[in-house]
Structure 1
Amino acid sequence: MIEPLPDLLVAPIVRAALAEDLGRAGDITAMACIPADARLTAVFNARRGGVVAGLSCVRLAIAELDPTATFTPMATEGQTISAGTALAHVNGAARAILSAERTGLNLLGRLCGIATLTQDFVHAVKGTQARITDTRKTTPGLRALEKYAVRCGGGTNHRFGLDDAILIKDNHVVACGSVGEAVRRAKAFAGHLVKVEVEVDSLLQLQEALGHDPDVIMLDNFTLEDMAEAVKITAGRVVLEASGGVTLDTVRAIAETGVDVISVGALTHSARVLDIGLDAVGN
Structure 2
Amino acid sequence: MITLNDFELESLLCEDVPYGDLTTASLGISDQRASITFSTRERPLVVSCTEEAVRLCGLYGLEIEGFVKSGTLVPPQSIFLEAHGEASHIHRIWKSVQNLLDYTSGITTYTREAVLLARSINPDIVVATTRKSIPFTKKIAIKAVESGGGVAHRLGLSESILIFDYHRIFFPSDEAFAEAFNHAKKANPEKKIVIEVSDIAEALKFARLGADILQLEKFPLTKLADAVQILRADYPHMTLIATGGISTKNIAEYAGTGVDMIVTSSPYNAQPADIKVRINPL
Shift in Å, 1:240 = 0.5
Distance 1:166 1:248 in 2: 28
Shift in Å, 1:57 = 2.4
Distance 1:144 1:158 in 2: 14
1:49 lines up with 2:44 in the alignment: yes
Asked whether the 8 Å contact 1:44–1:86 carries over to 2, the reply is: yes
Aligned 1:101-250 pairs, distance under 5 A = 101-125=94-118, 126-128=120-122, 129-177=124-172, 182=177, 184-189=179-184, 190-235=187-232, 236-250=236-250
- SS of 2:81 mapped into structure 1: strand
- Give the aligned residue type for 1:22: V
- SS of 1:240 mapped into structure 2: strand
Asked whether the 8 Å contact 1:179–1:209 carries over to 2, the reply is: no
- SS of 1:199 mapped into structure 2: strand
Shift in Å, 1:241 = 0.5
- SS of 2:82 mapped into structure 1: strand
Q: What is the number of equivalent residue pairs in this alignment? A: 274
Deviations 1:111-158 (A, max 9, x none): 111110011111211231422111111122322221121111111221
Identical positions, percent: 26
Shift in Å, 1:109 = 1.0
User: Which consecutive residues of structure 1, in runs of 5 or more, have no partner in the other structure?
Assistant: none
1:267 paired residue number:
267
Distance 2:241 2:165 in 1: 15
User: Which consecutive residues of structure 2, in runs of 5 or more, have no partner in the other structure?
Assistant: none
**Alignment RMSD (CA, Å):** 2.0
Indicate how the Cα distance of structure 1 residues 274 and 184 shifts in structure 2: closer, same or farther if over 3 A, else same: farther
Distance 2:239 2:48 in 1: 29
1:279 paired residue number:
278
Asked whether the 8 Å contact 2:51–2:69 carries over to 1, the reply is: no
Distance 1:187 1:46 in 2: 53
Shift in Å, 1:58 = 1.6
Distance 1:170 1:78 in 2: 37
Distance 1:184 1:153 in 2: 41
Distance 2:85 2:266 in 1: 37
- SS of 1:150 mapped into structure 2: helix
Distance 1:61 1:180 in 2: 56
Distance 1:215 1:13 in 2: 37
Runs of 4+ in 1 over 6 A off after TM superposition: none
1:29 lines up with 2:26 in the alignment: no
- SS of 1:176 mapped into structure 2: coil
Shift in Å, 1:179 = 7.3
Q: TM-score, normalised by structure 1?
A: 0.89
Distance 1:248 1:117 in 2: 8
Indicate how the Cα distance of structure 1 residues 86 and 19 shifts in structure 2: closer, same or farther if over 3 A, else same: same
Asked whether the 8 Å contact 1:34–1:95 carries over to 2, the reply is: no
